[in-house]
Structures are given as C-alpha cells and as structure tokens.
Amino acid sequence: MTGSVGYHAGRVAEDIVERDYLQRNCRPLARRWRGHSGEIDLILRDTDGAGLIFVEVKKSKSFGQASRKLGPRQMERICSAASEFLANEPCGQLTDLRFDVALVNGAGQVQVIENAFTGM
C-alpha cells in the first residue's frame, strides 16, 4: 500500500488497535507522536496509571505478513523516540514501560505482542 490508500489503512488499523487497548482499560496519550528520532503510532498509559505502553501498529493481509514488516532499525528508532517522550514524564527514563507490536490482519482482527522488543 502506498500513498493515500496506505495512509488511510494505517489510520483505520490504529483506530482498531486503540479500541482494543481501551477495552483493556489503557488510556491513550498520543497517536502518531513524532520526535526527532521518529514516530510512535500509539502511546498509552497502562491500567495502573504508572507505566507507559509504546505501540507499533502493523497491518497486512495476515498476522504473519504484518509481523515481518518490523525490522531492527525501526525498533531502534522507536526506542529512541520513546526516550525523547520520556523526558516529559515525572520519572523520566525510570518510567515503567513496555514496547508492544499490534498486528492487524485483513479482516480487522488484532493480535498484540506485549514486550515485543525484549532481547533487542
């Protein structure tokens, strides 16, 4: 997907994922947050309110295809952007956080991989 179609498909996928996290009682803080290092699709406050969840949304025909769209360089950019975001948090770099990848298939179903960046 490229251009306008890809942009709108990405927005719809982010809407679907945001609703999924809302059902988990997570509170959205930002969408498509952009720092100097890059963009983060969704940033949410976790259920207890103390930690943050940085979410990368990937959409494709299947979960497998979507999962292959995230590479190490993009993960590094997301981590760097998250570090920038944390500068405005009360606990700064000591804030509890996790990086999730939310996969959206062609049927609009969501599969969330929590702590997807562990072992990076």
Contact 70, 58 (CB under 8 A): yes
Instruction: Determine, yes or no, domain membership for 88.
Output: yes
- For residue 104, being part of any structural domain is answered with yes
Instruction: Give me the pLDDT at residue 5, please.
Output: 63
Question: 118 in a domain, yes or no?
Answer: no
What pLDDT does 68 receive? 92
The tally of domains found in the chain comes to 1
Domain range spanning residue 92? 3-113
76 found inside a domain: yes
Q: Please identify which residue in the block is written with the tokens 């997570």.
A: 26
Residue 94's identity, in one-letter code, is: L
Cβ 86 vs Cβ 92: under 8 Å: yes
Q: Kindly report the CATH number assigned to the domain that includes residue 30.
A: 3.40.1350.10
Amino acid type, 23:
Q
- The mean-pLDDT minimum among 53-67, 75-89, 106-120 falls in 106-120
Query: Model confidence at 8, in pLDDT bands (50, 70, 90)?
Result: low
Would you say residue 9 has pLDDT above 90?
Answer: no
pTM for the whole thing?
Answer: 0.90
